[in-house]
Amino acid sequence: MMKAVLFDMDGTLLDTLSDLTRSVNFALKSLGCPERSKSEVAQFVGNGIANAIGLALPPEADAGTQSRALALFTAHYEKNSRVDTGAYPGVVRLLRSLERLGYGTAIVSNKFDGAVRELNDAFFGVAVAIGESEHMRRKPAPDMVREALRRLGCRPDEAVYVGDTEVDYLTAVNSGCAPLLVSWGFRDRAQLEKLGAPVASSAEEALAIICSLG
């Protein structure tokens, strides 16, 4: 029986793409590099912001340039993470419905930990919220999911992991959770269906799939 539902943040609970793109482009412009479109940034994110910055930079960028770009992004994003960011339709209701039904809920994200906690406090108030830090490997490694499950008092086979990218699917598989993907985020439905996991196109459909898992 499923007892817990864990969620990715960017592209799953929150539409953060405009603010992420603005901060990525601030870093790129500061270094004299070409800026990126929202659709490009959407494909870069999911595996940690350092990886996203590396993909956004020109191929010839060296390690020093990547380090400076990451620092510029981080400083800008810390001050501008809630300009256009907001919850996707129905996700707050989804979280509250799960809580009323007795599921434990958590957020596990590759966004840096301070931003995860700040945005969770601002939009959701979920009891367990974990982001990337030096203490745990980022997704798709299972470390953060296992820590969230420990805090919730659940086994992996009692949990669903919900996300919007291939990284989230691998995170579910690597941690032993049931995967559920959503098509309103940073990947389109065709990309997600290739992975073979259930795909929800609305918060209401996500709730129905979760409940059907037992």
Q: How confident is the model over 181-202, as a mean pLDDT?
A: 96
Model confidence at 47, in pLDDT bands (50, 70, 90)?
A: confident
Tell whether 146 and 124 lie within a shared domain: yes
Has residue 214 got a pLDDT over 80? no
Residues 90 and 203 sit within 8 Å (Cβ to Cβ):
yes
Q: What are phi and psi of 3, to 5 degrees?
A: -120, -15
Q: What angle do CA 75, 138, 203 make, to 5 degrees?
A: 90
Same domain, 112 and 208: yes
Each residue of 149-185: pLDDT tens digit?
999 999 999 999 999 999 999 999 999 999 999 999 9
pLDDT at 135: 87
Residues 6+ apart with CB under 8 A from 198: 179, 180, 181, 209
- H or E stretch including 95? helix 91-100
Q: What is the CATH number of the domain that holds 161?
A: 3.40.50.1000
Above 80 in pLDDT, residue 5? Answer: yes
Residues 59 and 158 in one domain: no
- Structure pTM? 0.93
pLDDT at position 1 is: 86
Range of the domain at 92: 4-15+85-212
